[in-house]
């Protein structure tokens, strides 16, 4: 465990790279000192990554303190070389079925960040959004469009009365005090599972399903695929209100009768930190989930978050092993499109 020193300023200062900041964080050293004589202006001294700079701060510091966090790596990496040991490692962690969450990704360098917060994500999201207010407005507007489309098709909407009330408020340009409100999380989970960008992250309770999603993107070109493992029962201890951070470890479960894909994939979701529509001046946080948990954790839980990697050259063998266990496109995506996906996968690993 180490400490991150955090200084919050009233007015921005300019860093050596020319950027303007009001919050400074460093894992090495930030100090506020008065050099002799005592009536000199106080100086903010920042030392990080072998560099040091000094700036006057007299009357400009809003808060200053140290926050204990995990070590320099917010997650541990387990690098495996073969499909067989990859599956064995994942399945071994599935003995306690409600303890672990699994997330398969086609690129090992993908962060634990939901689609609505990715700067390279689909419009209208991405780097163009500069404030929390903009972020909330865009997420709410897309959710409203999805709500209208689902409603006019006559499809079931979980928590109908509350979801409708919130959506009508959004239609009238009235935002909830926090986004997303708890009342619409199940509805947003369905939206997320059908390709709508939200601030929810997809996970599965089944490690073999996660292994499939790590391997099934045949067009990806990254050298490594990966499965993230989140241990919900690790010895997490957080700074600040426990409910705020502990809530990130509680998955949202979509009613499986409303979503065949989620049922087939044993899909669940974790939320990102809620945004305040009242305090909307700041920029939207794009901090990945593992770093959020790491920053606020006072105790380093062994294997709290792991990333298990496998060379892409092994995915043909991995897909074949999963097919023998009836994990393929047709079982993960029931219907004609899933059957076609399974046929392409078989052609790939059988070649």
Among 47, 69, 91, identify where a domain stops: 69
Whether the CA torsion 325, 104, 86, 100 is positive or negative: it is negative
In which residue are the tokens 């506020």 written?
32
Do 244 and 147 have their domain in common? Answer: yes
Do 64 and 98 have their domain in common? Answer: no
Do 153 and 56 have their domain in common? Answer: no
Do 53 and 84 have their domain in common? Answer: no
Do 239 and 169 have their domain in common? Answer: yes
Task: Please tell me whether the peptide bond between 325 and the residue prior to it is cis, using omega within 30 degrees of 0.
Answer: no
Split into its structural domains, the chain has a count of 2
Task: Please tell me whether the peptide bond between 141 and the residue prior to it is cis, using omega within 30 degrees of 0.
Answer: no
CB-facing half-sphere around the CA of 349: CA atoms within 13 A: 23
Do 63 and 96 have their domain in common? Answer: no
Among 23, 52, 69, identify where a domain stops: 69
More confident position, 197 or 31 = 197
Do 119 and 64 have their domain in common? Answer: no
Do 298 and 197 have their domain in common? Answer: yes
Across 113-122, 134-143, 207-216, the highest mean pLDDT is recorded for: 207-216
- Residue 295's domain spans which residues? 76-350
Q: How long is the chain?
A: 351
Do 122 and 213 have their domain in common? Answer: yes
Confidence of residue 127 (pLDDT cuts 50, 70, 90): low
Among 52, 69, 86, identify where a domain stops: 69
76 touches 34 (CB < 8 A): no
**115 Cβ contact partners less than 8 Å away, ≥ 6 residues apart:** 121, 122, 125, 192, 197, 198
Do 133 and 273 have their domain in common? Answer: yes
Tell me the pTM: 0.75
Do 105 and 221 have their domain in common? Answer: yes
- 160-171 and 132-152 helices, crossing angle to 10°: 120
Q: 225-260, pLDDT tens digit by residue?
A: 999 999 888 777 776 655 666 677 888 887 788 778
Do 161 and 248 have their domain in common? Answer: yes
- Lowest mean per-residue pLDDT among 9-13, 77-81, 86-90: 9-13
75 touches 308 (CB < 8 A): no
What burial class does residue 173 get, using C-beta atoms within 10 Å of its C-beta: 0-12 exposed, 13-18 middle, 19+ buried?
A: exposed
């Amino acid at each position: 465990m180490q400490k991150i020193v955090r200084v919050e300023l009233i007015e921005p200062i300019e860093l050596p790279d020319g950027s303007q900041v009001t919050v400074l964080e460093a894992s090495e050293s930030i100090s506020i000192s008065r050099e002799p004589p005592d009536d000199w202006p106080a100086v903010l001294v920042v030392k990080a990554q072998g560099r040091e700079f000094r700036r006057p701060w007299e009357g400009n510091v809003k808060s200053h303190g140290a926050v204990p966090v995990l070590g320099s790596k917010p997650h541990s990496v387990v690098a495996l070389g073969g499909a067989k040991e990859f599956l064995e490692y994942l399945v071994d962690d599935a003995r306690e079925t409600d303890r672990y969450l699994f997330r398969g990704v086609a690129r090992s360098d993908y962060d634990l960040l939901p689609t609505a917060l990715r700067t390279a994500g689909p419009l209208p999201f991405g780097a163009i959004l500069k404030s929390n207010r903009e972020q909330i407005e865009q997420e709410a507007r897309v959710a409203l469009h999805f709500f209208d489309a689902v409603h006019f098709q006559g499809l079931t909407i979980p928590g109908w009365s509350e979801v409708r009330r919130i959506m009508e408020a959004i239609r009238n340009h009235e935002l909830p005090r926090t986004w997303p409100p708890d009342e619409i999380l199940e509805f947003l989970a369905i939206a997320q599972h059908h390709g709508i960008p939200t601030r929810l992250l997809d996970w599965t309770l089944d490690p073999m399903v996660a292994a499939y999603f790590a391997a099934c993107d045949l067009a990806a070109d990254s050298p490594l695929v990966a499965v993230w493992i989140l241990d919900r029962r690790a010895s997490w201890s957080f700074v600040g209100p426990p409910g705020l951070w502990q809530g990130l470890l509680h998955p949202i479960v979509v009613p499986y009768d409303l979503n065949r894909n989620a049922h087939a994939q044993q899909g669940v979701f974790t939320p990102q930190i809620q945004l305040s529509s009242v305090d909307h001046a700041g920029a939207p946080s794009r901090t990945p989930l593992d770093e959020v948990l790491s920053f606020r954790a006072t105790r380093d839980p062994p294997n709290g978050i792991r990333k298990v990697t496998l060379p892409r050259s092994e995915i043909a063998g991995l897909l074949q092993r999963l097919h023998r266990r009836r994990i393929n496109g047709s079982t993960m995506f029931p219907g004609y499109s899933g059957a076609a996906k399974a046929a392409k996968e078989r052609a790939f690993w059988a070649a």
